[in-house]
Structure 1
Amino acid sequence: VIVPYPENGDFVGRSTIIDGLKHDLGYSQPTGKTQARVSLYGLGGIGYDVSVFWVHASNAERFRQSYGTLAQECKIPGYDDPKNDVLSLVKKWLEKKDCGQWVMVLDNADDIQLFFPPPSEATPDPAGPDPRCSFSDYLPECAHGALLVTTRNKQLGVKLSKGQRIIEVGRLTEHESERLLHAKSINAASTDLLSLSARLEHLPLALVQAAAFIQERSITVAKYLRLLGDTDQHTVDLLSKEFETVGRDSKAPRAVAQTWIISFRQIEQQQALASDLLSFMSLLDRQDIPAKFLSHYTQQKESEAPLGDIELTEALGVLKAFSFVTEDNNGSYDMHRLVQLVTRKWLINCGTVSRFGKEALLVVSHLYPYGTYETRTTCAAYLSHAKSVLRLCEFKSEEEAKAKASLLHCMAGYFSFEGKWSDAEELNIEAKRLRTDLFGESNPSTLASMANLASTFWNQGRWEEAEKLGVQVMETRKATLGVDHPSTLTSMNNLAYTLHGMGRVEEAINLMQTCIRIRQDKLGADHPDTQSSISTLENWA
């Protein structure tokens, strides 16, 4: 057995997965005439370990080193001759029946191009000038051996398993999380341990990192929970702390955040659209991300060739393969909370958060409808994403300011429809300010925000404020659009309501009569707006 790690005495749980591995790898009986191949895939740091011949597969250099060590330790004939190709030697030796039964663990096989490079990048000679050979050609195939792959990339796991079973390694259960913390000598009230596990999404590597931090600094679990705090930044900072633990590759990243960033970079190099989608999605709310957002984002991207549904499907397939996003039954997408936080931090470090923040704002602003009865369901579904981009985006350009004002205006309409007047007021005030700065007070969009703000005042019984704005909107529309313009008449109708609410009934009736007369002339007596004003006047009589 050649395994470069000591036994991990703190290993807990995963009994179902272990039982499945024993069965699929032929642990209890010969594997038969074909080679058993199984892939374990999951989010980086999710926890998968098993051993016999251990091959580091994170890059070409480490793959070669592992084969070299295997050849040396097993004293494979010819291993010490520099003229021989060690990769071929190991493959042929393991395929011989007199080698006996074996299991090869292909660990951290995440780079699909390492094993299945595009035809133009592959070379049959691994010692040639191009180091990017197809390493899948050097994986031994025989009935007396089995191959176990651990990967963050489900797509690669499927390819290496050649259609045989792949097993997802998911999060720990609450019980497994608590056992793991106890195994790391973390003793605390069960409620604190469960709180810590929940905050860290039951992710083994994050829990081990937390345990190391707690022990090294001699603090309590409760103190660590306070350090996590209520802000995302505190969580990311702690996830970025390096730590040491038994049974972990010394060359592997020593922080949860760095583990994922390696995958981010692989995706960025191999599938640019997938990388951009991950960045874009990280600035939305992490749950129920509508497919429509992703489709619109893809279609709006500048590229040499048009991007459509096929390209979007392929890019999302990469993100799902790395377990960074999951697809719901309703066709929307979710991001792992901790992955989202680390992605945002990565964007900041790369200096690209402004770019993706702008793109996220423009997409959400374009697709968020004005709040009405017909659009209420869509408004509710998109609301958390609108709040997220408003909170995270920087709004440096005029284009962003216009998009922000439009989004605020539409969100305020939804809050007004829901009767949340205080929330609607806050958004209308900001939309009015932005539009005044951008377009001036007499611009139609500015006046629309002013009219909506007056409506929120009216519905809260703040008559004087509603009247002041209502008069300003009506007079400005008279001057810019004309007294008989539908928007002017709407302002006149609304101001009459305000005057009536203030007890100035005679003024209200006179203004409403004027509105009715002009509407009858311009729209006709049977028009819904005309009939609405007539009905109101009859009720006041």
Structure 2
Amino acid sequence: MTSRYRRVVSHMVEDRDIISVEPMDEIHAITLFDKKLGVQAAREDVIQLTTALEFMPLAIVQAAAYVKQRSPRLSVAQYLENFRGSDHQKTSLLDYEGGQLRRDREAKNSILITWQISFDCIRQESPSAADLLSLMSFFDRQGIPDSLLQGNEEMRQELGGVPASNVDLIGDGRNGDESKSVSVVDKFEDDILVLRDYSFISISADGVNFEMHRLVQLAMQEWLKAHGQLEKWKGRFIRILHHKFPEGNYENWPRCQLLFAHVQSAVAHQPHEKDMLEEWGSLLYEAASFAWTRGDFVDSQIMAKKATIARLNLFGPDNEKTLDSFEMLGLAYKLGGQWKDAEKLQLQVMETRKQVSGPEHPDTLDSITNLALTYCNQGRWKDAEELQLQVVESYKRVLGLEHPHTLIGIGNLASTYQNQGQWRDAEELQLQVMETRKRVLGPEHPDTLIGIANLASTYRNQGRWKDAEELELQVIETRKRVLGPEHPDTVTGMNNLGSTYWNQGRWKDAEELQLQVMETRKRVLGLEHPDTLTSMNNLAHTFKSLGQDKTALLLMAECVRLRDQLLGPDHPYTVSSKSALNEWRAKDEPLSSQSDKMATET
């Protein structure tokens, strides 16, 4: 792990294990230059040049690459002369509009000047390579797939809409007036080699991904801004990502994950042109949906907010795309435990959709479903049940019994029955949902796993500990493999298994799991997330069962304080925790009631 901030690193490792990476000294700078140049150069010239470059590794690599490319017609001494003569002109160019690069202590004049010298040369010798670098400067600096750069729709449009495999480019400009026919694929490879040879990019070991230094990207963007080309290349970057990023559903997760870091970069590049702004909003909406499915409420909220604002300005409040974005933002709020914010948005979306699309349109029913789930989080079981009964009947009539949305509705209603102690009603519906999902979606689909987990919770509440444990172990192992070990649903499964262990009197097993769950939730969701507070409550009960009364009291008191503040004094979970705390304070004997379980999975 590397960081610029010692304080951050000190939270991860002991001070004795921190290695300080100091600035490069003269000997190492000379060695690096000689290695990159690959030929012998006058020692004094190398010393003077590396000193002028302030021993900055990136500047040294760029300078050596330039000299190597133009050798023997250019010497180290000549490059040094050009470098010294370029100082005022180059730095003033890259200081355009306030000197944004100067905010970074690494962005010294030496790096900016060597970059400008090399880029000027590339523009003259291979304009298409300069264009490619312009495009690449907007991506995340690591893991840029070649599939995003070659053969994309934007480039085909520039070539008149002809498929790339059938196009020849005439006269690439590298040999003066000579004309040369070369395929698009070969031209792309030539441009990649040019950029690599000038040390502007590097190529991964697998040969299909590229990387750029962060300061190369910043310098390139500043040059584009100074020359009025920033919006043009920003637009191409957004169009490519919008074209390539799929919907964030389960089947597309691997592809979404591959491109997600580049969409995170796109968040900071909001375009001005209307058509491009629409594509930018759509891209962020799909990425927010993917982030939400992966349990990432921070990125989901950021992207959904920006998509909502863009679409609101473009289309108005009643447009379907705008409502979709509001819906996504509400889900992100709910995932982050901001239930009041979620409820406010979901009520607004539901009422608008009833007016615009009608009360039984699938989108309207989805909005009602999401609002009912927020009511569940708030402990408003009757309000949730009323909406869910209405939705399930409409889903059956409009979409059919086996439609995924119908199954979600039935599963949610079963969970509401479960939270109200109607175990038999819940079990009957959950068995129906689980078997149908296994057949329709497959045994490892995330929705199928939710159905199995909910059935396990019903078994646990009926005292069928072994049945619950068997299903919960199955769910945890599958989720670790499919979703990852720190996905909220995976951690939820571990929390539920801990509750099953507790109810069996296996308190040490419960403690081990609950400690892991609480620490993971603190790190991933934050201390004040409702799910983290559930973990605190459950662990406090386990401490009490193990006879660790003082530790249990302290943890439960903190849980009560935070639940009272965040959920309100009347929320069922707050009431449950307060009751336990008051009883523990009143007498020393262990409390016999069960810990409250994690908010029902839906």
Q: Which moved more, 1:500-509 or 1:285-294?
A: 500-509
* Deviation at residue 293 of structure 1 after TM alignment: 1.5
The answer on 1:285 being equivalent to 2:132 is: no
Tell me whether 1:108 sits opposite 2:74 in the alignment: yes
2:399 corresponds to which residue? 523
Verify: 1:268 aligned to 2:103, yes or no: no
- Aligned with 1:232 (options 101, 123, 130): 101
AA aligned opposite 2:405: D
> Per the alignment, in what secondary structure is the counterpart of residue 374 of structure 1?
helix
2:230 is matched with which residue?
Answer: 353
Deviation at 1:287, TM superposition (A): 1.8
The 5 A counterparts of 1:25-40 are none
Aligned counterparts of 1:430 and 1:305: Cα–Cα separation in 2: 32
Tell me how far apart the structure 2 counterparts of residues 292 and 304 of structure 1 sit (CA, whole Å).
20
Shift of 1:371: 3.2
* C-alpha distance 389-513 of structure 1, shift in aligned 2 (>3 A): closer
Q: Deviations over 1:184-218 (max 9, x none)?
A: xxxxxxxxxxxxxxxxxxxxx8xx99xx9xxxxxx
C-alpha contact (below 8 Å) 2:65/2:199 kept by paired residues: no
1:507 counterpart letter in structure 2: D
Kindly indicate whether the alpha-carbon contact (under 8 Å) linking 1:370 and 1:409 is maintained by their aligned counterparts in 2. no
Asked if residue 325 in structure 1 is aligned to residue 180 in structure 2, the reply is no
In structure 2, C-alpha distance between the alignment counterparts of 1:237 and 1:274, rounded to whole Å = 26
Aligned to 2:290: 414
Contact 2:143 2:211 (C-alpha < 8 Å) held by counterparts: yes
Could you tell me how far apart the structure 2 residues matched to 1:468 and 1:15 are? 61
Aligned-residue offset at 1:305: 8.1
Q: Give the Cα separation in 2 of the matches to 1:49 and 1:457.
A: 54
1:256-310 deviations in Å (ceiling 9; x for gaps): 5344334323332333321111111112222211112202266345136845433
What is the alpha-carbon distance in structure 1 between the residues aligned to residue 36 and residue 404 of structure 2? 70
Residue 481 of structure 1: how far off its partner (Å): 2.1
In 1: Cα distance, 2:155 partner to 2:292 partner: 32
Matches within 5 A, 1:416-435: 416-435=292-311
Residues 1:500 and 2:500 are matched in the alignment: no
Distance 1:515 1:415, change over 3 A: same
Report the CA distance between 1:438 and its aligned residue.
0.9
Identity of aligned residues (%): 29
C-alpha separation between the residues in 2 aligned to 1:521 and 1:9?
A: 78
Cross-structure match for 2:239: 362
- Counterparts in 2 of 1:84-233, with a 5 A limit? 106-108=72-74, 232-233=101-102
Aligned 8 A contact 2:102 2:108 in 1: no
Give the aligned length.
337
Higher relative contact order (CA 8 A, sep 6+): 1
* Counterpart in the other structure of 1:341: 218
Amino acid in the other structure paired with 1:453: L
Structure 2 counterpart of 1:284, which letter? F
Compared CA separation, residues 434 and 303, structure 1 to 2 (3 A): same
Q: Is the 8 A contact 2:154 2:236 kept in 1?
A: no
Q: Which amino acid aligns with 1:440?
A: G
Counterpart of 1:46 in 2: which secondary structure?
helix
Q: Which has the higher helix share?
A: 2
Which structure would you say has the larger Rg?
1
Amino acid at match of 2:146: A
Indicate how the Cα distance of structure 1 residues 511 and 21 shifts in structure 2: closer, same or farther if over 3 A, else same. closer
What is the rounded CA distance, in whole Å, between the counterparts of 2:270 and 2:250 in structure 1?
32
Deviates more, 1:480-489 or 1:286-295: 480-489
Asked whether the 8 Å contact 1:274–1:315 carries over to 2, the reply is yes
Q: SS state of the match for residue 286, structure 1?
A: coil
Aligned residue in 1 for 2:571: none
Q: Deviations over 1:55-75 (max 9, x none)?
A: xx96xxxxxxxxxxxxxxxxx
2:267 is matched by which residue type in structure 1? L
Gaps of 5+ in 2: 1-25, 41-59, 88-98, 165-183, 418-602
Distance 1:507 1:10 in 2: 70
- Give yes or no for contact 2:139–2:265 (8 Å, CA) kept in 1: yes
Corresponding residue to 1:473 among 346, 349, 356: 349
Alignment of 1:382-397 (within 5 A): 382-391=259-268, 393=269, 395-397=271-273
Q: Is the 8 A contact 1:324 1:335 kept in 2?
A: yes
Amino acid at match of 1:45: A
Residue 582 of structure 2: aligned partner: none
TM-score, L = length of structure 2: 0.49
Contact 1:236 1:341 in 2 (8 A): no
Q: What secondary structure sits across from 1:287 in the alignment?
A: coil
For 1:401 and 1:435, how far apart are their aligned partners in 2? Answer: 8
